[in-house]
Amino acid sequence: MADVRRMIALIVTTDPATIAFAQAVLRDAEIECYVMDQNMSVLEPGIMIPKRVMVLKEDVAEARDILTDAGIAKELEV
């Protein structure tokens, strides 16, 4: 796993389908990604806590392009 201190959040959402799709697209493109806050709902049941799809800073531009081409540009963080 990459150093999460060098990662940027590309997507912040509570939608598990969006997260799974983004992960699959990024992995197919061989861009390392990591989902933060996946287990937070265990600590706070009943609250929808957003999860963050993170990529390395040096991969942000390429990852944005790939996710935009995949049709989920509206989910990308500014």
CATH number of the structural domain spanning residue 24: 3.30.70.790
This prediction has a pTM of 0.84
pLDDT given for residue 41 in this prediction: 65
pLDDT in tens, the chain (78 residues): 567 678 999 999 999 999 999 999 999 999 999 999 887 766 667 778 899 999 999 999 999 999 999 999 999 986
Alpha-carbon gap, residue 8 to 1, rounded angstroms: 14
Q: Where are the alpha helices (DSSP H) in the chain?
A: 16-28, 40-43, 60-69
* Number of other residues whose CB lies within 10 A of the CB of residue 7: 21
Q: Which domain holds residue 55?
A: 4-75
User: Domain tally for the chain?
Assistant: 1
Alpha-carbon gap, residue 64 to 71, rounded angstroms: 11
C-alpha separations of 5 from 1, 14, 57, 73, 75 in Å: 11, 22, 10, 24, 22
pLDDT given for residue 26 in this prediction: 97
